[in-house]
Structures are given as structure tokens and as C-alpha cells.
A and B are shown apart, each in its own frame.
Chain A
Amino acid sequence: MSSAAAFALPLALLVAGVPAHAEVTRTDVLVATRAIGFISKFGSGDLRVGIVVAPESPQSVEEGNQLKAVFGTGLAVGDNVLKPVMLRIDQVGSADVGLFFLTQGAGVGANTVASASRARKIPCITFDLAQVRNGACGIGVKSQPKIEIFVNRKAAAESDTIFSSVFRLMITEY
């Protein structure tokens, strides 16, 4: 092998990326629910999770249905059992839930969720990382190609979303 080729090969390997995932997987949901377990405000017992969908967005509705299917009648995570509740965006101001799970494709409706999250001190989690970056939702999760947790510090603070120091040291914050 020539020296140029020997140099180029590792570079070629370096730039070869891994395709990003497109749809919610069971692994995504498991990672998200495990991340929820690190929010210190939840005690033990049942936790009602509001899966927030924008009815006009097929992507949002599809993801909502996927989430509901994975949660089933209740998903045990640590000391909590996460019980899904399907919510339309216009229901987030009054729904009896302890956590918002914002679906992708909510569009401007995410602002309504953000307002409710802040006003009612309800944490928000999503796979839509753009909504975390713009502050509409406090916590973002992705599982491919590597598990990563993102937190918008301002949005999290305003919704009383508190994590342990250990957890904070292992996540990406905005």
C-alpha cells in the first residue's frame, strides 16, 4: 500500500458516517423512560405521562400511537409505573399528568406545550431535538447511533425539572 493510500484509508473511515434514524424505535422509548427516572421530582408509584400529539400532523399522530403501544397499560421504570395518556395539544393546559411526552411534528403547537410546562411545572421530554434547542421542551433523547440526552437548562429550570449532579455531568446541556 502506498503511503498516500495508507494515510487516506483511515481518513476515509473517519468521514464515513452512520445514517441518522428516522422513526421512533423501542430503544428510543426505553432510553427516554430511563432518563425520566433521573428526574428527582417524581416520587414512587404511578406517573401519568401525557403523550402530546398535534392531530393535524400525521407524523405526530403516528409517533403518539407508537409511544402508546410501547407504554402499554403501564411501563415500570425504577420506582415509577409510567401510565400513558393521549393528549391533544389543546388539552395540555388542564390535563392531569405529571409529564409531557411531546411528539415530533408538533410544529408551532409546541409553544403551547412549552407554556403549559412552565406554568404548571410539568417536565417535558421529546425526541424532537429542535424543540429542546429552541426551549419548547426541557429534555431531548436520541438513541442512534449513540445514546445521548440533551437538556435545555432554561426550559428545565422553568418547569422545575431537577436532575442529580451525577446525571448532569453525563448529558449535553444547552
Chain B
Amino acid sequence: MRKGYYANKSRSAQSFARHLLTVASLASAGLIPSVAFAQAVDYGALEQLFGQSVTTSATGSPQRESDVAVNMQIVTADEIRRSGAQDIPGVLKHVLGVDVMRWNSDNADVGIRGYDQSFSPRVLVLIDGRQVYADHYSYTPWAALPVELAAIRQIEIIKGPNAALFGFNAASGVINIITYNPLYDDVNTASITGGTQGTGRTSVVKTFKFDGGGVRLSASGGVDNDFSTPVPPSSGLLPRNRNDRFAVNLNGVFRLSNTVQLGIEASHTEAASNDIDPIYLLAQDRHFTDSIKGQITAETDLGLLQATIYHNWISQHFFDGLSLLAYQGEETVAEAQDLFKLGPDHSFRLGLEYRRNIVNTSPFMGAHISYANYAASGMWDWTIAPPLSLTSALRWENLHLSRSGAVPTGYPFTNADWNHVIMEISYSTGLIWKATDADTLRFIFSQGDQLPSLVELGAGLVATPGSNFSGNPDVDQTDLYNYEVDWDRAWPAIGGNFRAAVFHLRGEHFSSLQGETIPGSGPPPYVTGTNVGDSSAYGAELSLTGKFEDAWRWGLNYRFESITDRFLPVAANGTLFIDFQHVTPKHVVKANLGWASGPWEIDSYFYYQSPTQGLESLPFGTASLLSPVPDHFSFDARIAYRLSEWATLAISGQNLGSSPQKQTSGPMVERSVFASLTVTY
């Protein structure tokens, strides 16, 4: 008989020490256990049992959405489908506290609680725990993510930094995209979509179930012509190219025994899109990404052990009229985790992680910037009393930066200048008080660390007789601190919930790609990146959701945020492509109203943002300035009719109000309407 936890009547500090020693010995033997953010949990069964979404993204441990010690919102598969959105930023646009800058039809940047910018670097994005945030340029290439909307079980949005669990770059928040598990879930859909902007797209998700396992194959392909609105002169001289995207993903989970599961995943994407680059110029961008991942999960007497290893390849070719850049980045991550409970009131997670990133310099070729990061982390969830629990997490990181290869003539740095070690300790804690059966209060402190991108650290390298630019190995990471109080109240009378949050975010050492000039051994001097100063924010979020008469559902939310930047004079008022104080809207209101009955689903989404400003590039990308972005109201909708048990016809639209509409400092967005036929089989 397998020994169960309940057979061990008491555990003590000795057993805790034994856990630590065991995990350490496994690691030293090369049997790296793994991180359990992925598919170790049968989300569907737990969701059905507890009647609400289940997540592992708050602490690494499975928890109900209402029990997490962070401010989290989960967007379910039902909400994704009914949003009518064509991509993930389109889904996120409706989420309280999420900022989406829509630049082009296939290009958007996502921020959490403001602090959004082109090539947004402060939101860590993962798919089933695998990082899809691109470290080489510190952004998320949304169009190149190898996931189909129909394959997503839920999108988990953590607001506020969470470095203690996720490490570097979980700075403003984390978005973890959880797909269906082919071992437990049988998802089979095919859809064809056509619409404005010359859109044509097909998507297929097919699950193969067999005794002891399951494999899901998902793939899609599509093209569109992008918006037809004029590209403003401040966005450069390039015309938009036609967008295209092809993605394929193979995900298998196999039950090796009653207690051991093996997961294997591989993906490939190719995507061409028109992107607004970090200096706010329109760039013709093409991404190729590949990934392979293996994960083993074992239910043992030592707890739930998981070992994960994955490798990501990303190739980015982009041209913004000034520079033709080609980056080949690679990332290897090996993670280990043990999740266990000691006694009735204490849960722990112990984790180890090794990560290596490397990218070439460009446009000057012949050198590479890389780092290796070693991290150890722990989480302790203590039920102090039935209504009171305290969750604390700690993470230690040790990052070794390096450079290898050629240097241009007259370069002000040598490879030895990159021999830096960055050691960081991150901490987060959340006290949850379930004041009544309906009310939950959270008191949260968390930290985040945003690493400069590898481009910012030196992979960006222009060495010409006319102008010189280089990333700078001396740019520091940005440290963020979040202080927050949340109140959630279940409100049965309206069939929904009320949520309120007040937060204060403080960030130190924000950086810009430009700002410092370093002379080389000959003219011209090198323009390089630098830290430009600090910024802080105060904000509040209010949200109300409800249902009535079974068929209707609604939501209304509001965010207020006030940001103060304290940047060096050279970077004040948006002159160095970085500004949060003027760019983040103070007031954002989002609302939705939906009705579903019989074969019909009708949903509408409303968005209002107060006047703000945006960053525009000055000629040749030498500096930036602020330009006004008027307040605006936008309206999205979807109407779907189920033709039969297996076929659904849907018409959806984005920006259905005023069109074209200026929503950012970039090109105006225009109305989009799509018709899709989805077959479930």
C-alpha cells in the first residue's frame, strides 16, 4: 500500500529539514524537480468541485481564485469566447486594471496598472508556466504566441509585482495563460473567420485521447491587411506590410503510473506584423519562435514533485526605417519544485531554477550577450486561524552577465565590462482575513525586479561612421514595490461580487534605451542607455459584477491612477521614450452587458478612458515628445447563434463606435468586424 500523508500523524521541524535536504540532494544529483505552474493540476475537476476557478499562479500552490493572497483576475474560456476578441490583447482589454495600447491590427502592448509603453517590458507572460515574454528585447510578441484562443482554459492576471514567485520581470504583473490539459480535457474545434481589413483565418484544435494519456494538436493560419488609417509622420516613413501568422502547438500529457505524469510540448510560430518599436517608430517585424518543453510530475511521500525543462528560440527581424535588426535569442530554463503540506495549517513550496539567455548583437554582428541565472525560492502558507491566513514568499537570484565575441573599433567597452553578478532577494507577503462568509480582505506587499533587456544591456549595437549606439552593461534593474489593500465581497442579491483595491506602487531606477553619451576612441561618441529615475503611483480599483434572470450578466469597473515620475532633467516630460505620469490615463471605465438564451449569445463591451498623452518619436529617433491623446469611448460586441449542436455562427466587432479613432500616439485604429463559423466535434 502506498503511504499517504494521513498515515504520517505528525511532522515537525525535523521533517521540514528532511524536505530541504531531499530537494537539495535531488538537485545535486541532477534530478532537478520542477515548477508546478503548468498542468500538474486537474483544473477542470477542481473547478467543478469548488465552484470557482482554480489557480497556481499566486503562490505556486493550487488555490481557489477567492483564496489567493494577490490581486488576481481570472478570465475563463467562456468569457474569452464571448468577448469576440481575435487575439489575447483583445481579451485583456476588458479586464479591470489592464491597459492595452492597440497600435495596429496585430500589434498591441499590454500593461498592468498603467506603466504601459511600446514593447511593454513590465508584464511577464507565460503559457502553462513557460515564459513567452521575450527576454532579448523585454516584451511579449503577442502575434507570435503559439496558442489558440479555443485551447485556453483560462487567463490568469496577477496585478502588481510578483518576483518572489516568478523572478525577474514579473514587475507590474504576470499573465499566465493556462491551456486545457489533454490528459483530462477533450477539446476539438475548428473555426474559419473572415472580416474587415482583408482578414482570413482558420484555427483547429484537436485532442487525441488514449489509454494513459492525451495529445492536443492546435494550429492556425491567417492573414490581414492591417488598418488602412494613415501612419503619422512621427511613426516614421514605412508603410504597413500585410500581416500573416502561422502557429502550431503539440501538447501531450502521459500517465506513466498512478502517481507520475509526463508532459511534452513543442511549438512553432511565424508571424509578420507592423509593430510600434521602443522608439515609437512603425517597424515591419517578423518573428519566428520555436519551443520544446518536458515536464514530469510525481505524487510522492515528499509532496508533489515537479521537474520542468524547456528551451525557447526566437528570431526577430525588424526594420523601422532607421535600423535593420536581426536577433536570434535562445533561452533554456530548468525548474524544480516540491509542494507539500506539514500539519493541517502549513503549506510549503520549495523551488530551484536555472535559466540561461543568449542573444547576438545587431546590427553589428559577431558578438553575444548572455546571462545565467540561478534562483532558489520558497513559499509558506500559514492558516493562522480559520478566517486568517498569511502567505509569504522569498526568492534569491544570482545572475551572471557576460559578453563574448568581437567589439567594433573604438568601442568604449571591453567584454570584461559585462562580467557582472546581480544578486537580488525578493519578498512578498499577503495577509488574508475572511471577515465574514461574504467578505475577504487582503493586505499585500510584494516586490518586482525588471531586468534591462539584453538589447539594453549591449545586444543593441550600431557602429557606423555616422552614428554609434550601444546597450550599456551598467544599466541597473528596476526595483518595484507594491503596497495594497483589497476588499472582495460576494453579493448574492445581485448574483455577483464587489471588489475594491487601493494600491501604492513605487519604482526605482527606470531605464531608457538612450540618455547617456560615452566617447569611444574616435568620433562619433556612443549613445547608450541609462537609468533615468524613479516613479510612484497611487490608485484605486472598483468592480461590480452581477447576473439576473439567468440569461443576463453584467460588469462595471473603474480605475483611478495617479503617477508621479521623478526622472532626470534629460528624461523629463517624455524626451527619452519613457514617461508614465502623462501617458497613463487617470480614469478608465469598463462595462459589459451580456445575454444568453437557447442558441443565442449577445455581448457588448464598453470602454472609456480620460484624456492623456502619448509618446512620439522626433525625426531619426533621436528623442521623443508628448502629444495629446483625447479621451475616447469604444464599443465592442459579439452576437452568436448556435446553428446546431456542433456549429456556431458568430459576428463580432471591435471599435464599433467612432472610426477611425485616436487611442494612442500611433496610427489611429479603425472599426473591425468579423464573421466566424466554429465547429465543435
Contacts and interface: CB of A to CB of B under 8 A. Distances in A.
Interface stretch (B173-181, B338-346, B519-527, B583-591): B338-346
Contact of B437 (A31, A145, A157, A167): A145
A163 B483 CA distance: 37
A133 to B, nearest CB: 12
Nearest to B500: A10
Contacts of A156: 6
B72 interface: no
Contacts of A38: 45, 49
Contacts of A40: 4, 258
B439 A31 contact: no
Contacts, number: 105
B48 A34 contact: yes
Query: Majority SS of interface residues in chain B?
Result: mixed
B304 A157 contact: no
Contacts of A13: 439, 489
Contacts of B466: none
A170 B344 contact: no
B594 interface: no
Contact of B62 (A37, A151, A162, A166): A166
A168 interface: yes
B9 A157 contact: yes
A60 to B, nearest CB: 26
A160 B50 CA distance: 24
A162 B5 contact: yes
A157 to B, nearest CB: 3
B64 interface: yes
Contacts of A37: 45, 49
Interface string B370-403: 0000000000000100100000000000000000
A155 B39 CA distance: 31
A166 B349 CA distance: 12
Contact of B6 (A16, A143, A161): A161
Contacts of B41: 166
B7 interface: yes
Given A147-B49, A160-B1, A170-B64, A165 B436 contact: no
A165 B341 contact: yes
A60 B278 CA distance: 69
Interface string A7-25: 0001001111110000000
Nearest to B340: A165
Contacts of A34: 45, 48-49
Contacts of A143: 51
Interface residues of B, number: 44
B435 interface: yes
Contacts of B40: 166
A165 B299 contact: yes
A168 B341 contact: yes
B6 A157 contact: yes
A50 B435 CA distance: 37
Contact of A169 (B299, B339, B343): B339
B332 interface: no
B5 to A, nearest CB: 6
A117 to B, nearest CB: 13
A165 B5 contact: yes
A151 B49 CA distance: 15
Contacts of A15: 435-436
Given A14-B435, A153-B6, A147 B487 contact: no
A169 B62 contact: yes
B46 interface: yes
B2 A154 contact: no
A97 interface: no
Contacts of B343: 173
B322 interface: no
B51 to A, nearest CB: 5
Interface in B283-312: 299, 303-304
Contacts of B316: none
Contacts of A16: 436, 438
A35 interface: yes
Contacts of A10: 487
A172 interface: yes
B1 A170 contact: no
A2 interface: no
Contacts of B53: none
B76 interface: no
B344 A173 contact: yes
Given A78-B45, A147-B49, A154 B9 contact: yes
Interface string A131-167: 0000000000001011101010110110011111111
B299 A162 contact: no
Contacts of A31: 49, 51
A35 B48 CA distance: 10
A18 B61 contact: no
A18 B436 contact: yes
Interface string B1-37: 1101111010000000000000000000000000000
Contacts of A145: 437-438, 490, 492
Interface of B: 1-2, 4-7, 9, 40-42, 45-46, 48-51, 54, 61-64, 66, 258, 299, 303-304, 339-341, 343-345, 347, 383, 386, 435-439, 487, 489-490, 492
26 contacts: A16-B436, A16-B438, A17-B436, A34-B49, A38-B45, A40-B258, A143-B51, A146-B490, A147-B51, A160-B4, A161-B4, A161-B6, A162-B4, A162-B6, A163-B4, A166-B40, A166-B41, A167-B46, A169-B339, A170-B50, A170-B62, A170-B63, A172-B344, A173-B341, A173-B343, A173-B344
Interface of A: 10, 13-18, 31, 34-35, 37-38, 40, 78, 143, 145-147, 149, 151, 153-154, 156-157, 160-170, 172-174
